[in-house]
Amino acid sequence: MTTFLNTLALLAAMTLSTAALAQAAPSGSVDDCLKFEKPDARLACYDNKTGFQPKEAPKADERPAVSWKVRDSGTVSPIGFADVGTKPGLFQIGRTDGVDFTSAKVALVGVGRAINQPQGFFDGWEPFVGVSWDRDTSAKTPKDLRQVLVGISGQIGTPGPTGVSAFPTLRIGYKDEVKAHTSGGFVNAHFDIIYLPWVNSPEVSGKNSSAFVPYLGLYSESAHASPSTSQDGTYLGAYLGAKLEVKLGAIVERLSLTGQGQYYRDSTTPGSEEKRTLRFGTVGLKYDLVDPNAKQGWVPSLSLSWQRGTEPVTGEGPSRKTVLGFGVKFD
Amino acid sequence: MPNYTDVKAATISLLNIYSHDHDILNGYGKPVDAPKYSAVTKLATVGINAYVRRAMMKPTNEAMRGKFPDSWRAVGASELVDQDTIGGFIKLMSSCNSLAVPFGEPT
């Protein structure tokens, strides 16, 4: 009797298992999936037929906590194409006032994960840190500038497809000019203004496209010179400028023309120092040796630029030079 | 947890708003044998270049959080700038929703 019951139980278990298997096993062959024309439906069919199980969903924080980028400076903002800190790091050779020179201008910028603040003002803003080195022996006063900085960059406004928005970048840092024996802290509030109709021309092969981005900001630095102290103290000023980028796809793919003009005026200077009015302009041609949109890895480029004036925010100048440069950008 | 198909559809709808004279919504994946727009379409070719993607930071966070309030984690402008194809954008939106991208996707 016991044996009979055991056999019955075994048969019942086998029947149930077979039923379960029959239910789990997909019917038909994978060839049946070819009847689905929509890729989504076809893929879902293949997954079903083959019993494919997608990997467990990653956690959102699997995005890197910090993304590192190599640029020309960590000066204004590490993001976007419309700001100084997005140009590639530069190693240049040139000739100025009849004298050959070489220079290096490179920064390492780390961009932190975006702030998650639902309904908050800082939602999506990105903190960043940077170190930069700018060495240029071509100027009448040779330069060897080292900076370390922290900052945050974000957006004000929610533009529609033809709207306008401001992009503030707030920075605080310390810089040391080794050759001039000056050092001190600085604070900068920079605002790019993006009006979408000025920047959204499609970049189609064989055609030119352009983008125009005005900007403004406040800059303050506390300078300490050694051994002279006549210029020591706090400088505060405001600036206004614009950048233009034209991608010359109608001439040569990956060739672009860039221009920038800026006006700066001191509002506060230390002691009896006169208020400065500083103008700066640059026009350049750049040719990317590989597709600049190939985001993984190094993007080398060649550039030829003409530069005049002084740019206090980035520490450019005073200069009057034409330079041929080899740049490298890393994402 | 949202599903991938919903996130993909929401992403294409969002891109369609900012594309320049391009109807991505109705042209994505169609026709099947030679789609007008697909995952490999460069965003810059439809007017969504790096400047525009940077400007989309707030709109993207607002739109995606509105659709997926429980799973969405904020995306930054530099992350949007780094994605230069429709497929890259879809993957980023999935990641911000803690969502795995099915094998073979985005197509």
User: Per the CB < 8 Å rule, is A293 touching B17?
Assistant: no
Confidence of residue B67 (pLDDT cuts 50, 70, 90): very high
User: Does residue B101 belong to any structural domain of this protein?
Assistant: no
CB A82 within 8 A of CB A138: no
Distance from CA of A105 to the nearest CA of B (A): 22
User: Does residue B107 belong to any structural domain of this protein?
Assistant: no
Nearest to B44 among A38, A82, A202 (CB): A202
Q: Is the pLDDT of residue A100 over 60?
A: yes
Q: Which residue of chain B has the CA closest to A207?
A: B45
User: Does residue B102 belong to any structural domain of this protein?
Assistant: no
CATH topology of domain A64-330: Porin (2.40.160)
Phi and psi at residue A165, to the nearest 5°: -150, 150
Neighbours of B29 (CB within 10 A): 17
pLDDT at position A14 is 43
Confidence of residue A163 (pLDDT cuts 50, 70, 90): very high
User: Per the CB < 8 Å rule, is B51 touching A114?
Assistant: no
Task: Scan residues 280-309 of A and list those with Cβ closer than 8 Å to B.
Answer: 293, 295
Q: Which residue range(s) make up the domain with B11?
A: 4-96
| Percentage of chain A lying above the pLDDT 90 cut | 27
Confidence of residue B32 (pLDDT cuts 50, 70, 90): confident
pLDDT at position A206 is 85
Distance from CA of A168 to the nearest CA of B (A): 12
**Residue tagged 């800026």 (tokens):** A262
Quote the ipTM score.
0.93
User: Does residue B103 belong to any structural domain of this protein?
Assistant: no
pLDDT at position B100 is 85
pLDDT at position A141 is 67
User: Does residue B31 belong to any structural domain of this protein?
Assistant: yes
User: What are the residue boundaries of the structural domains of chain A, listed by start?
Assistant: 2-50, 64-330
CB A218 within 8 A of CB A237: yes
Interface test with A, best of B28, B78, B98 (most A CBs within 10 A): B78
Confidence of residue A280 (pLDDT cuts 50, 70, 90): very high
pLDDT at position A329 is 62
The full DSSP string for B41-96 is: -BGGGGT--HHHHHHTHHHHHHHHHHH-TTT-----HHHHHH--BHHHHHHHHHHH
Q: How distant, in Å, are the alpha carbons of A63, A164, B43, B104 from that of A156?
A: 24, 10, 23, 37
A116 close to B (CB below 8 A): yes
Residues 6+ apart with CB under 8 A from A205: A249, A253
Q: Is the pLDDT of residue B102 over 90?
A: no
pLDDT at position B59 is 96
Report the amino acid identity of residue A6.
N
User: Does residue B73 belong to any structural domain of this protein?
Assistant: yes
Tens of pLDDT, residues A23-81: 334 456 778 888 888 777 787 788 777 777 655 544 545 678 888 877 765 554 433 33
Q: Is the pLDDT of residue B33 over 80?
A: yes
Phi and psi at residue A280, to the nearest 5°: -145, 140
Q: Which residue of chain B has the CA closest to A203?
A: B45
CA dist A244 and A198 (Å) reads: 10
| Percentage of chain A lying above the pLDDT 70 cut | 71
Name the average pLDDT for chain A.
77
A129 close to B (CB below 8 A): no
CA atoms within 13 Å, Cβ hemisphere of B28: 25
Give how many domains chain B has, as a whole number: 1
Size of interface A-B (CB pairs under 8 A): 156
pLDDT at position A91 is 62
For Cα atoms B67, B68, B73, give the angle at the middle one, nearest 5 degrees: 125
